[in-house]
Structure 1
């Protein structure tokens, strides 16, 4: 179901909420540059099926409400246009609003994809709201690779991602030796999205297995 959140600066935004009401573990799920669309809701529902209370904040609401894009070139262009003017500090306020709306008294994690992978890294380094963070193909992580994580972090990258060269992944590994970094041979950007041409089912399933084990270890 869709709910409304209010960030610390007074901005109101939508969010997709799912999962058991009596959950003992919780996640904030962060969108790609395509909004909280059908794929992101499926991602949320998959975590909910594993027993997580889940909230996915609509981060594009800062510039346009209700955005749900597909994966054609025009959608990519529009997503980048929407993403461009959004300030990372304001995005973090929206993330923290989502975290605050999760059930009280349970450990919270954050997981993000594409742009959301970078946002998840910021959630780990720029807040103390989370007990674990996981990022899938976050292209902006390398620019913040020297930031100090306040919780355990796991990262996933495709070997042939055209927007994240292996030199970036190597730099992240060198800067963050305690972070679990996984690279999927032959996989490109968005390998975990079933609606994209770059989808690789085996790699998506393997990355999800690792993600679930990681959160089980740190969130209970």
Structure 2
């Protein structure tokens, strides 16, 4: 089981969920959540990363706006979540990610980032601006930043049914980040990894997770 730690970032203090493997870690991963805040799903992802041999740290980015804020994944939550991330801003999100990465690096490990939706763009910027290996899941806000050169290995996951990220947007990822791995999952929609919500697509989620673990094993070990 994990526990809470306080991170003191340039934008303010946030809580972060930390999970460690039982044996020696093969690397460390910062987990960036989507617009609903640090749902229990992300704590569970940290536990899964720990089971796979990685130290995992998931900051509660929304603590900078309202400590402890976690939203429902309905329309009301979506609207409030979009307003919250707009107030927070991506610059502060990158600062929080950098603080989390420094915390993990101080433990003696190479660090990567995995992010989902809004957090997927945070992961992209952690790659281009902080030089961290990153996996970005179904990020809808990537396009303005695709011209930033990658600073480390990079992987993208998309659902073929995700109307928020149409095929032409995915193609821009391939063209502007040609060195990156880009995967598209038939039958998968936005948030296909968010177990147990209805967008969850088990087959796509399992395959994307396997590829993500292989990515971190290669670049962090």
TM-score range, shorter chain: over 0.9
Please identify, of 20-29 and 187-196, the stretch whose mean Cα deviation from structure 2 is larger.
Answer: 20-29
1:17 Cα shift? 0.7
1:72 Cα shift? 1.8
Q: Is the 8 A contact 1:29 1:57 kept in 2?
A: yes
**Structure 1 unaligned residues grouped into runs of 5+:** none
In structure 1, the partner of 2:194 is: 193
In structure 1, the partner of 2:208 is: 207
Separation in 1, partners of 2:211, 2:97:
23
Q: Is the 8 A contact 2:11 2:96 kept in 1?
A: no
Normalised to the residue count of structure 1, the TM-score between the two structures is: 0.94
1:10 Cα shift? 5.7
> 1:124 aligned to 113, 122, 127, which one?
127
1:104 aligns with 2:107: yes
> 1:38 aligned to 17, 21, 40, which one?
40
Deviations 1:2-50 (A, max 9, x none): 111011x261111111113742410000001111111111111110111
**Structure 2 unaligned residues grouped into runs of 5+:** none
- CA distance 1:126–1:15, shift in 2 (3 Å): same
1:196 Cα shift? 2.1
The within-5 A match list for 1:16-95 is 16-20=17-21, 22-95=24-97
> 1:114 aligned to 104, 113, 117, which one?
117
Q: Is the 8 A contact 1:18 1:54 kept in 2?
A: yes
TM-align CA RMSD: 1.3
Please identify, of 110-119 and 62-71, the stretch whose mean Cα deviation from structure 2 is larger.
Answer: 62-71
Separation in 2, partners of 1:89, 1:10:
9
Normalised to the residue count of structure 2, the TM-score between the two structures is: 0.94
1:160 aligns with 2:161: yes
Please identify, of 87-96 and 15-24, the stretch whose mean Cα deviation from structure 2 is larger.
Answer: 15-24
